[in-house]
Amino acid sequence: MPLTVLGIESSCDDTAAAVVTDDGRVLSSVVSGQTALHADFGGVVPEIAARAHAERLDLCVEAALEQAGVTLRDLDAIAVTAGPGLIGGVMAGVMLAKGLAAGTGLPLVGVNHLAGHALTPRLTDGIGFPYLMLLVSGGHCQFLRVSGPEAFTRLGGTIDDAPGEAFDKVAKLLGLPQPGGPAVEAEAAKGDPDAVSLPRPLLDRPGCDMSFSGLKTAVLRVRDQAVAAEGGLRESLRADICASFQAAVAEVLAEKTRRALAQADVPVVAVAGGVAANRTIRAALERVASDAGARFLAPPLALCTDNAAMIAWAGIERFRLGHRDGMDLAARPRWPL
Ligand code: KG4
Ligand code: ZN
């Protein structure tokens, strides 16, 4: 009989529950997003997020069990995100998991959200260690050399904004809707990536660190110049800015991935996070991998963005190592890998 584990995730603005087996089957994965709740505020409001998690977690767990066709009695453990993240949300998830564990006698396993992302390619593609993981989302941007379920080496990351955050801010500057990534990508398809000259931050410096906030400032300058000179932003210039911005992000990510891959000396590079949905960026990373003779892996988008299947899976990996948490499991706002 395979191990069957319930995963619970509530560290940012998605409330999620999933049931996963240790032979890599996702029996269910329920995600209840909160984008609409935060839309008027230009970002995730921690108080609103925590309340929404508290209201929805039970329902998500119930739905995940039902969709998987199991009951609490069929489970072998309960895995929960214990950090890093917005503390109110993490606490809501940890409290529910403790309650379920206490009520059923099932073992409790606390999981690091970033480990959840980083171990996803093992769930989706069954790959072995070691491999390189590029985590690129709205909140994260880092290279991890993954050499075991609990062995992560950070090779570099952003020193300011995450790329998704930069896409979102650029969208806002150009009057495009949120989330900015898909909007900027659609606009970029109509533009010329060489039309607007934008910087390639930190590309001239050795190592795998990145910076994206300067790009956003450069876009702001181009926009303001156009508005001053022409009284507004031409449709075609907006498309050119989007295409040029996307090309700059792709080039930086590709070159830094090339270096990280050389440093990590691994046969596989995998990506996770919402920005991995971007076709231009994906293609650039694929090229880097193929030039280096490495395999490129991008899990299906639903498992790339925040979800609880990755938490259940990371819980399985920790459980198999003998890891168990007690009722003193703490919710942690910060928890570096
Ligand atoms: O992983 P994710 O769903 O959530 C967290 O950040 O935790 O990532 C969301 C981010 C947003 O910033 C969004 O704009 C970006 O991923 N994103 C994209 C694309 N789709 C989503 N960025 C660029 N191109 C896309 N197609
Ligand atoms: Zn995440």
pTM: 0.94
Domain boundaries, the chain: 4-123+305-320, 138-302
**Rounded average pLDDT per 10-residue block, the chain, 337 residues:** 96 94 98 83 80 93 98 98 96 98 98 97 98 94 97 97 96 93 97 98 94 96 96 96 98 98 97 94 98 96 95 98 98 94
Q: How far apart are CA 176 and CA 184, in angstroms?
A: 7
The answer as to CATH 3.30.420.40 being correct for domain 138-302 is: yes
Q: Is 214 exposed, middle or buried (0-12, 13-18, 19+ CB in 10 A)?
A: middle
pLDDT of residue 239: 98
Q: Which long-range contacts (CB under 8 A, 24 or more apart) does 146-149 make?
A: 146/118, 146/119, 149/115, 149/119, 149/314, 149/317, 149/318, 149/320, 149/321
* Minimum-distance ligand 1 atom for the alpha carbon of 12: 7
Residue minimizing CA distance to atom 10 of ligand 1: 138
Q: Read off the pLDDT of residues 237-264 as tens digits, 9 standing for 90 and up.
A: 999 999 999 999 999 999 999 999 999 9
Alpha-carbon distance 184 to 311, whole Å?
30
Specify the CATH number for 4-123+305-320; select among 1.20.1560.10, 3.40.50.2300, 3.30.750.24, 3.30.420.40.
Answer: 3.30.420.40
pLDDT of 299 reads 93
Pocket of ligand 1 (CB under 6 A): 12, 137-139, 164-165, 167-168, 179-182, 185, 273-275, 277-278, 305-306
For residues 187 and 134, the answer to whether their CB atoms sit within 8 Å is: no
ipTM of the complex: 0.98
Residue 20, marked binder: no
CA–CA gap between residue 250 and residue 48 (Å, rounded): 34
- Do the first three CATH levels of 4-123+305-320 and 138-302 match, i.e. the same topology? yes
